[in-house]
Amino acid sequence: MKLKMLIIGLSLFSSFAYSHVKPVFSVNEDPVCSIFEQSYNGQLAQGKTPSFQTNYIPIHKGGKSKLFTPDETSDIRVKFLKPIIHDDITWFEWQPLTGVQHKLSGYGSASRLTAVSSIKPAPNKSFVLQINTIGWRGPFYGVWIIEDSELKTIVQNMESIDQDVPVGIEASSAVFMLPDAELDLISTPRNIFQFNGGFYTVDKDGAYKLDNGELKTVCKLGYSFPLKSPQIQALENAGNATLMTEGITHIPGYYGTMGSSFIKVENGFKDAIEKPWLTLVDEDGMCFNNDHIHNCGFNISIENMLKDFASQDPWSYREVQVIRQHMQATEYDLSNFYIKNLKISPLIAQGMAKQAVYSFLGKTVRINNATSSYRKKLKNIGREIDLYTLDYYKSSIATNWFGKTELMWAAHFNDYDAIQRLLKKDDKTNPNFPHQALFSVTSSNDEYASVQYLNRSALTYAAENATLPVIQALIKAGSDINIKDSKGNDLDYYLAKNTLVNKSIKEIAAMPAIEIKPSFNCKLASSAQEKVICAKKGLAVYDKQMSQLYKAVRTNIKDSNIKALQRIWLKDLRRSCSVLDPYTLSPCMKSHYRTRIKYLSNLLMLTNQWGQNI
């Protein structure tokens, strides 16, 4: 006897061996929802990520493309996989249209096909499936409803049987049913089934009814909890801005789009918020593995990609450390959200939040496209080492492939101590031409988006990234305040990007020197960390910069967790930079400060994205 359902007995969402959260519907308006629910739960109970893809089942097998003439189509049926099997559901099969040619690729999928359904929407109308390939793009799938008489006339009027059937162009009665742009089904095979006299389609989010020429959502999975988290948005921005580009590291082929055009990852935490039951962790909150899901290996791959990215240059190292702080903050926000709204234990909530973060990062580092030799290299990645070595007195950084000098690095990282040391070093090297390093500019013939703005000096980098003491030091040393980059942008263009400087370059040049002091009274300094901040002007600059950013974030970003996260960072700073000699204490603190400053700057940039007082 045919089973009522392929997977049965789970309709109440009562027991899940692999999920700590029960699925819920936000829309449940049709009897078909109970059938969808049972199938969805059955997949969850097997430890699978539910999928309702109705993939095309190839007709033609063989290595070559094949044309089917009108006489060869009578015995062909176009079929798709059936993600739900139920007595009351009848999936469409499609008969290739007679009178025209149909082309199947060497892989068996259609590259040009027009077919009519075995089930009719009305006595005088038909469902029409079209699969077309445009050049190398596709295949693209579409489903129409059209009057039979018009379809017949269109075929009769075709000039050639080997052209695409212009269903949507020449048929006034044609109604485009699938794909629906709102459901993002373009170029995705989406078959239709009949249930209780109505016509439906499904995907991993729910079921949809074809109703009077429209696709109506009748079942939709997901919680409707509101969560507007600055921490999540900042991580998404940082991941997209850093990992989705080829960066300045000159390592094409390994990161982001792997040489393809930029594709921004939007709503990267949508499932983690709306469908948290899909974020699977073990009973101890650790990563989850079974025959279908391999999160532990996936997470290790992401970690290795981050470590390798960090090993490329000082900018890459700092960006990865910033991303790690955004990861920590997002995990903190998301786990608290889970605890409050889902009533689950902190251990499970923290594990789910961590896995959600790795799942997002997996969308920004396209490890699936990495070569086998590169995958082998990733397995041998060691610990991350800060490549910005100018915190140490005798250290230097070699000029990189597009002419970025160590003075530019120091200006980029707002390093007052390194600026002063490098200017003195330059004078000793070139006594007849003092401060020559000020006039070095970036240049390259490579077509990388990250280095399209060339002819940038140390002062250009400082204008965009540094604070007034560093900018003033470079101007005082003789930097050209009229320099323009390769696109014709002057220094005021870069100052407009600077979060904490609200003056023009001429105003800064005319100002008296800014007194350098930290955010606290040095007379009250008691800890080793506070004392070294007071002793090192570069650290005092960092401390003041971070204090200003933190206050601005507290004022403009409405997030109750920001204060707690800052305390966590301070605790980590004291732990990481405690048992150190005076020579290594300052570099340790400066590295931590640089990361935190960029993290806070990223948060403050959300005011431009979401508006003030978000």
Number of other residues whose CB lies within 10 A of the CB of residue 123: 6
The whole-number average pLDDT for the span 163-175 is 78
558: in domain: yes
Could you tell me the CA-to-CA distances from 398 to 81, 105, 283, 383 in Å, in that order? 58, 53, 49, 22
pLDDT of 495 higher than 60: yes
Dist CA 576 CA 159 (whole Å): 76
Looking at the structure, do residues 214 and 289 belong to the same domain, yes or no?
Answer: no
Please list, in sequence order, all residues whose beta carbon lies within 8 angstroms of the beta carbon of residue 206, skipping any fewer than 6 positions away: 25, 27, 33, 36, 217, 218, 219, 220, 221
Residues 320 and 188 placed together within one structural domain of the fold: no
Q: Are residues 460 and 552 in the same domain?
A: no
Residues 69 and 145 in one domain: yes
pLDDT at 204 exceeding the cut of 50: yes
Instruction: Examine the domain organization and report whether 52 and 199 are in the same domain.
Output: yes
* Structural domain contains residue 199: yes
Q: Look at residue 105 and tell me whether its pLDDT is greater than 60.
A: yes
Residue 582 falls inside a structural domain: yes
For position 288, what pLDDT does the model report? Answer: 86
How many angstroms separate the CA atoms of 471 and 519, rounded? 19
Burial string for 484-522 (b: 16+ CB within 10 Å, else e) reads: ebeeebbbebbbeebbbbeeebeebeeeeebebebeeee
Query: pLDDT band at residue 594, thresholds of 50, 70 and 90?
Result: very high
Collect all residues with Cβ–Cβ distance below 8 Å to 445 and sequence separation of at least 6: none
Average pLDDT over residues 594-603: 96
Structural domain tally of the chain? 4
Q: Could you tell me which residues are beta bridge partners of residue 207?
A: 202, 219
Q: Do 606 and 561 belong to one domain?
A: yes
State whether 216 and 102 are in the same domain. Answer: yes
Under the banding of pLDDT at 50, 70 and 90, the label for residue 167 is confident
Query: Of 176, 193, 220, which residue is a domain's last?
Result: 220
pLDDT at 575 over 80: yes
96 is a domain residue: yes
pLDDT digits (tens, 9 = 90+) for 312-331: 889 989 999 999 999 999 99
Structure tokens at 595: 């990361």
Distance of alpha carbon 129 from alpha carbon 191, whole angstroms = 9
Residues 370 and 446 in one domain: no
- Residue 166 CA to chain centroid, in angstroms? 38
Mean pLDDT of 198-219: 91
CATH code of residue 470: 1.25.40.20
In three state form, how does the secondary structure of 218-261 look?
EEEECCCCCCCCHHHHHHHHHHHHHHCCCCCCCCCCCCCCCCCC
Is residue 597 within 8 A of residue 549, CB to CB? The reply is yes
Q: Which range among 194-198, 238-242, 265-269 shows the weakest confidence by mean pLDDT? A: 238-242
Query: Which residue, of 456, 480, 514, is where some domain finishes?
Result: 514
pLDDT digits (tens, 9 = 90+) for 405-457: 999 999 999 999 999 999 988 666 666 556 788 999 999 876 655 567 899 99
What's the pTM value of the predicted model, to 2 decimals?
Answer: 0.83
Shared domain for 416 and 297, answered yes or no, is no
Instruction: Please check whether residues 475 and 569 belong to one and the same domain.
Output: no
User: Where in the sequence is the domain holding 496, given as residue range(s)?
Assistant: 388-514
How much of the chain exceeds pLDDT 70, in percent?
81
Domain edge (last residue) among 220, 238, 256:
220
Taking residues 458-485, what's their average pLDDT?
A: 97
Please tell me whether residues 287 and 347 are part of one structural domain: yes
Distance between CA atoms of 152 and 171, rounded to whole angstroms? 10
What is the rounded average pLDDT of the residues 19-27? 89
Compute the average pLDDT of residues 454-479: 96
The predicted model gives 553-578 an average pLDDT of 93
Specify if 586 maps to a domain.
yes
Is position 434 within any domain?
yes
pLDDT score at 497: 92
In this structure, the answer to whether residues 286 and 157 fall within a common structural domain is: no
User: What is the full DSSP assignment across 124-156?
Assistant: TEEEEEEEEEETTEEEEEEEEEEEHHHHHHHHH
Rounded average pLDDT over 257-275: 72
Angstrom distance (rounded) from CA 41 to CA 176 = 32
Out of 20-24, 290-294, 555-559, 567-571, give the one with best mean pLDDT: 567-571
| Burial degree of 239 (CB within 10 A; 0-12, 13-18, 19+) | buried
Task: Let me know: does 45 contact 7? Beta carbons within 8 Å.
Answer: yes
136 by Cβ neighbours in 10 Å (0-12 / 13-18 / 19+) ranks as exposed
| 399 domain residue, yes or no | yes
| 3-class DSSP state of 57 | strand
299 pLDDT exceeds 60? yes
For residue 465, tell me if it sits in a domain: yes
